[in-house]
Amino acid sequence: MNTDPIMALCDQVRETTYAIHQFHGNGYLEKVYENALVHRLRKAGLDVKPQHQLIIYEEDGTAIGEYVADLFIVNELIIELKACKTMTCEHSAQLLHYLKGSGKEHGLLINFGSYKFQIKKFAKNRQPQTVLKISKHNPRPIFAFLNRSRWSLFSSKIIYRYAFNAVNQLY
């Protein structure tokens, strides 16, 4: 799927959740915010499935279980809602595992419980992406590989030699 429509969808959900947070504030149970978000997104014409069951797959494609996503929008975006004081790394890990197990690529973690609006977007890529940045002023390459949920940056002498030779061929 092209990333532009999913980013527009995420922006629309973000704006809607922010409006809900401004209107209702914090202090309600998660279900109240879920119902408000479902109502407003359906009113905007989106296909929203609350408490939607997603199947978790093993590495070889075998179905090994299921979980219930708080919201599943346009069959692409998983939304995990929270109503707690602050988001923790366990909440992020929960959504990342949901993305990995279900095979979906995009998810939003939204917390309505804090006085401050909190939202995080997660995107899972099936294959590592390599980014190479080289300029005439700084020919040393920086490689960035997407490894699970973190970017790990490294530059080694062997990779540097190969990239430097490639740059010299370009100029």
Q: What is the pLDDT of residues 99-118, one digit of tens each?
A: 988 889 999 999 999 999 99
Is residue 149's pLDDT more than 60?
no
Round the CA-based radius of gyration of the chain to a whole number and report it.
20
CA separation, residue 150 to residues 116, 122, 123, 133, 145 (Å):
25, 11, 11, 18, 9
Lowest mean pLDDT among 27-31, 56-60, 122-126: 122-126
* Rounded CA separation 128/106 (Å): 16
Residue 146 has pLDDT above 80, yes or no: no
pLDDT band at 4 (very low <50, low <70, confident <90, very high): confident
Q: Please, what are the domains in the chain? A: 3-123 (3.40.1350), 130-170 (no CATH)
pTM above 0.95, yes or no: no
